[in-house]
Each structure stands twice: as C-alpha cells, then as structure tokens.
Amino acid sequence: MAHPEVFELPDDVAYFNTASLAPQLKAVRTAAETALDRRARPWAIGSADWFSDVERLRELFAAIVGADAGEIALVPATSYGFATAARNLPCGRVVVLAEEYPSGIYTWRAAGAELITVSREPGQSWAGAVEAAVDERVDVVSVPNVHWTDGSLVDLPRVAAAARAADAALVIDASQSAGVMPLDVAALKPDFLIAVGYKWLLGPLGLGYLYADPRHHDGAPIEQNWINRAGSEDFARLVDYRDEYQPGARRFDMGQRTSFVLTPMAIAALTQVLAWGVERIGAELAGVTERIAAGFGVSADRGPHILGIAPAPSAAALAAEGCIAAMRGDSLRISPHLHITEDDVARLRAALERA
C-alpha cells in the first residue's frame, strides 16, 4: 500500500523520520495554497467561516480516536494540552515513563507534582512497570502509546485498568500513535488525550488536538478568548460579555483557533489518513519496519511504525547516503510512512550494514 506519489519527496532521499516531522502530502500543500488565495480576499470571509472548518476538523480527529466532535478541543501544541490537563486534575503524584518526551515532564513539574518515574527491568514491559508503580497514592498516570525514543509499546488497556483500579486520572500523549495505531477513548476512558498534528496525522505545525472526557467539560481553560464563549457566533453581540462557554471541550480551544491556513491543511491531512484507514496504515508500516529490523536485534515489543536500533550507528553517516533517521536517547529511531518504497528499505539496510 505504499503511496510515494502523494507525498512531496525527491527520489534521492529515503526519509525515515516521520516521528519528528511528517513528509508533506501534496494535498496538504494544495490546501495551503487555496487557503492563502482565500485569505487574500478577507471581504469574502463571513462570520460563519470562523466556525465551519473548525467543526469539520473536530469531527475528523474525533473519528480517529473514537470520540464525539464535542469532546475535542483544538490546541497549538502538546504542551498546551498538558497544561490544560494539569490545570484540571490533582497533581500531587504523577507516574511517568523514564526518558519520556519533555513537554509533559516539564508541565507536571511546573504544576508542583512529585514525579514517579518508572523504568523497565530486563524482560519487563512498560505496562508491567507502570502497574508496579501505581497505587492509591497516585493522582495521575501520564503515558504515551509508544515510547518516543524507540517505539517500545505501552499497553494502554492494561495501564488504563491500573489507573482506574487506583482511582487515578489517565492522561495519554498520542502524538506518536494517533493516525497509525487504533485508539478508542470510549474503551480506554482517559481523562485527557493529546496529539500533535504534524507527525503521524500528516498535518501542519501549530495545530494539535485535545480529547477531554465529558466529566471535565465544566473545567477551567488555560486562556480566556472570545471564540470559546457562548454566543460568539453573533459578532454584533460580542460586546455582551458572557460567562458561559461553548459546549463540550470547546472551552479548551486555543485563541485564534480558526487559523484560515492551518485548518484547511489539517483537514486535508486527516481526510487522507481516514481514507487510507488507521488500521491499514499500521499494518502496512508493520511490514516495512519488520523488513528494516530483520537481523538488527530489534525488540518485537514495539509499535508497528517505529523502531530503535541500539547501539546506534551514526545518523550523520546514514544521511550522507541519503537515508534520514534521528537519534533519540541511545537509539537510532527509524519511523517510515507510506511514502517508503522497497528501494528505500534496501537502501537503508545497506547503509545500516555499512555503518
């Protein structure tokens, strides 16, 4: 199911760094150019346009995580989503993974949390390590679906069950899995789930997503802006200041959420992800990463789309041969998408063997 023809990549680059920044879809560029043309005619943009595309985008991301559109807020970054979660949850003791992505760690620290950092013993899964650390003293379990450095798997159903048993809140950073691994918030029941749009969701920088469970829909947003207030659709009456918010998770939306350029780009990206199907994307990438990993001693306990090689060969040496990957922690992180061809895989394997 490789589709290199829909991405903007030259033939001399084998790009294996989606986990950092996704290759751009041609449809996303087209959406951006169309949006810029539209933005050049502000007189043609009506009051309804400040809301319509935003609601379409909310629906698309909701479909990816099994939510309702009203449970999705639009945020600029992972850090914004974590800040919203921290503002609305008790943060006495928070369980996190060792060497986890910095934005969550910094946010929980700033909230005054005592971090309970879990590491894996030899042969232990991440879920097993989290289960061993969670007890009734824990307020929040904050985990990803796969570890960002090497793609090692976090069994979310097990972690969610452990959090519920301890009456702890669950916060999921799905930035490295939304769009390529199935997620079902109805089953997992997280308090909050956060995902950036520019990795596996193939969209632009500056626009991400926050799922908020309905039990938090009366919570406190981290900013006060006009568009998330009730009645904001009536521009003439914005001078009638309202204490009430828009329904559902919309109260957590960032200011300037409309973003007449970024929003159409994100819509084009999520439309393509859903057209391919999350499960089909994951299944295809599982085959790609298995062919890359063969013979390099890579653990099978990982997501289908990311692998880490350690001890790591030089990313710079690979780049000199046109193969782009990244060092994260002690691992060379390899993260393909559907642009990767069999020639790209062969080229990377040859470069790895030489390195």
Cα gap 54→60, rounded to integer Å: 10
> Block means of pLDDT (10 residues each) for the chain, length 355 residues?
90 96 98 97 96 98 98 98 98 97 97 97 96 98 97 98 98 98 98 98 98 98 96 95 97 97 98 98 97 90 95 87 94 96 95 87
262 lies in a domain? yes
Is residue 12 domain-resident? yes
Tell me which DSSP letter residue 246 carries.
Answer: P
Contacts of 213 (CB under 8 A, 6+ apart): 71, 185, 189, 190, 191, 192
Distance CA 213, CA 185 (A): 9
Residue 37 lies in a domain: no
The CATH number covering residue 332 comes to 3.90.1150.10
Q: What angle do CA 154, 24, 174 make, to 5 degrees?
A: 20
Domain membership flag for residue 31: no
Q: Contact at 8 Å (CB) between 133 and 116?
A: yes
On whether both 211 and 313 belong to a single domain, the answer is no
Of 251, 274, 297, the residue at which a domain comes to its end is 274
Q: Using alpha carbons, select from 354, 353, 343 the residue that is nearest to residue 15.
A: 343
Residue 32 lies in a domain: no
In terms of domains, do 228 and 98 share one?
yes
194 shares its domain with 154: yes
User: DSSP E strands: which ranges in the chain?
Assistant: 14-15, 72-75, 93-97, 114-118, 140-144, 169-173, 192-196, 208-212, 307-309, 323-324, 326-328, 331-334
Domains: count for the chain: 2
Query: How many DSSP H helices and E strands does the chain contain?
Result: 11, 12
The residue from 274, 308, 335 where one domain ends is 274
Strand order in the sheet with 331-334: 307-309, 331-334, 326-328
Distance CA 26, CA 280 (A): 20
Domain containing 227 — which CATH number? Answer: 3.40.640.10
Domain that holds residue 343: 4-26+277-354
| Phi/psi of residue 342, nearest 5 degrees | -65, -35
* Residue 33 is assigned to a structural domain of this protein: no
- Closest by CA to 7, choosing from 345, 243, 339, 343, is 339
Gap between the Cα atoms of 344 and 92, Å rounded: 48
Element housing 257 (H / E): none
The confidence score (pLDDT) of residue 1 equals: 66
* Domain identity same for 233 and 335: no
| pLDDT attached to residue 297 | 84
